[in-house]
Amino acid sequence: MIASQRPGPSIAQIHITPIAVTDPPLLNAAGIHAPFALRTIVELVTEDGISGISEIPGSALIDQALKMAGDLILGKDPFQMNLIRDELRQHFGSDQRRGDAPWDQRKLVHVFSAIEVACLDIVGKVVNRPVCDLLGGKRRDQVPYAAYLFYKQEGAGGEHGFGKDDSARGWAEARQVGALDPAGVIKQAGSMCESFGFKSIKLKGGAFPPWEELEAVKALFDHFTEMPIRFDPNAAWSLDTATEIGKEMEKYLEYLEDPVRGQENMALLRKRLNVPLATNMCTTSFADLPSSIALGSEDIILSDHHFWGGLQASMQLSAFCEVFGRKLSMHSNSHLGISLAAMTHLGAALPEVPFALDTHYPWQSEEIIEGGRFQFEEGSLNVPSGPGLGVELDRPSLERLNQNYLQCGIKERDDEAEMQKLDPQWKFEKTRW
């Protein structure tokens, strides 16, 4: 039995625009960020001219999948998200598990997420309500984010390092500075927190030997005495290393993110350490939940609506977390304001926000939404109040960043290749230490 369509707005156009966004040389377990991060902007337009937008991590593969998805959803009613999801699932099949990299490349959840968020944007505009009201309504007016620190090389990414509309001028300069040791990390943290008012700190590790990174965590703890601190080596540690370093690190941390690879190792480590473990690498899909529950692999799931199949699926994930005693917080990749708006609507609707959410946003300087970049207040964002996502495309900026994409030559994220430009011998290792 196929449901008949109720007359309603139908999707008449789909525009898929890959963009390349200036990104600083940030270090991580997989290498170093290239001068450009890829995002893909999706715009759905109904026959009566209502536009819905979304933003997802970009790659040639995902763009191709989106193009196929576009053919499937033309003529569909954006209210009918169940049917759209069924049809996409039927076409793309279920995703295999995510790969070894710290980022995620699964097709189906990315495509779902892109289309669902754009549909929610349209529905919000049709019913004159913000997207959070389509998730059961806003539970808070401000959504807190964390200072996301990186070890980094000098520079802020190509020659496009400064966004002209970046109000945090001090940070725009500080963003260029390298940070390769505890002193550099402390300086970066001070500048970022001062500029944005963040009240929590996350340090991305996995770039240097664990004992060196432990020193940076300890320095942050000693220096920012009021701030909860988290650390994430992207599963670059063996279970033995994680046990040893974790025992030292646990007293400094709010939580420890993905110290080891795989649910089994996480579950073993969790029994040995006295610090909550968080993940966006070992429990990354609904299919991972049964083994997560059986093993007890983490305390905190760092959701990402781009990887979990959209905002409604993220609300469902929060229900799982509530039932099974997990906390939910949010993961991020390099992104712009459309993703940030979606994350903020979700953050407003979630039953609780026990930890400030991750965002790479301060590392980007460009924007593609009207009015320029989001302004943080005391580390939080006000939930956009306009209908839908509450943000609109700035088309000249979109065009400019699409030109960046066409010219930069990058077709998928490859932090290893980028690192090899600095050190030809460097190789990604799933477990380095």
**Which stretches of the chain bind a second copy, using CB under 8 A?**
1-4, 6, 8, 77, 79-86, 126-127, 129-130, 133, 135-142, 286-287, 289-290, 293, 312, 316, 319-320, 322-325, 348-349, 351, 383, 385
| Shortest distance in whole angstroms from residue 343 CB to a second copy | 17
* Closer residue to a second copy (CB): 27 or 117: 117
User: Nearest distance from residue 284's CB to a second copy, in Å?
Assistant: 14
Distance CA 82, CA 162 (A): 42
Q: How far is the CB of 386 from a second copy (least distance, A)?
A: 11
Comparing CB distances to a second copy, the nearer of 127 and 406 is 127
Which residue, 308 or 428, is less far from a second copy as judged by CB? Answer: 308
Task: Go through 339-361 and write b for each residue having 16 or more CB atoms within 10 A of its CB, e for each that does not.
Answer: bbbbbbbbbbbbeebebbbbbbb
3-state secondary structure of 13: strand
Q: Which two tokens stand for residue 12?
A: 């008449």
- In the bound state with a second copy, the residue whose beta carbon lies nearer, of 93 and 136, is 136
- For a second copy, give the closer residue by CB, 142 or 420: 142
Residues 6 or more apart from 71 whose CB is under 8 A from it?
none
DSSP state of 363: G
- Whole-number minimum distance, CB 263 to a second copy, in Å? 15
| Closest separation in Å from C-beta 311 to a second copy | 12
Q: If residue 65 lies in a helix (H) or strand (E), which one and from where to where?
A: helix 60-73
Longest CA–CA span in the chain (Å) reads 64
Tell me which residues are annotated as active site: 204, 331
**Residue 316, C-beta contacts closer than 8 angstroms, at least 6 positions apart:** 286
> Got the DSSP string for 279-340?
ESSSS-SGGGHHHHHHHT--SEEEE-TTTTTSHHHHHHHHHHHHHTT-EEEE---S--HHHH
Closest CA to 142 of 323, 310, 377: 377
Strands 327-330, 300-303: pairing is parallel
Burial of 6 (0-12, 13-18, 19+ CB in 10 A): exposed
Q: Which is nearer to a second copy, 121 or 367 (CB)?
A: 121
Smallest gap from Cβ 425 to a second copy, in A, equals: 44
Q: How far is the CB of 132 from a second copy (least distance, A)?
A: 9
User: What is the Cα–Cα distance from 241 to 101, expressed in whole angstroms?
Assistant: 20
Q: Which residue, 15 or 139, is less far from a second copy as judged by CB? A: 139
What is the C-alpha to C-alpha distance for residues 338 and 54, in angstroms, rounded to an integer? Answer: 6
* Structural contact between residues 148 and 358, judged by C-beta atoms closer than 8 angstroms: yes
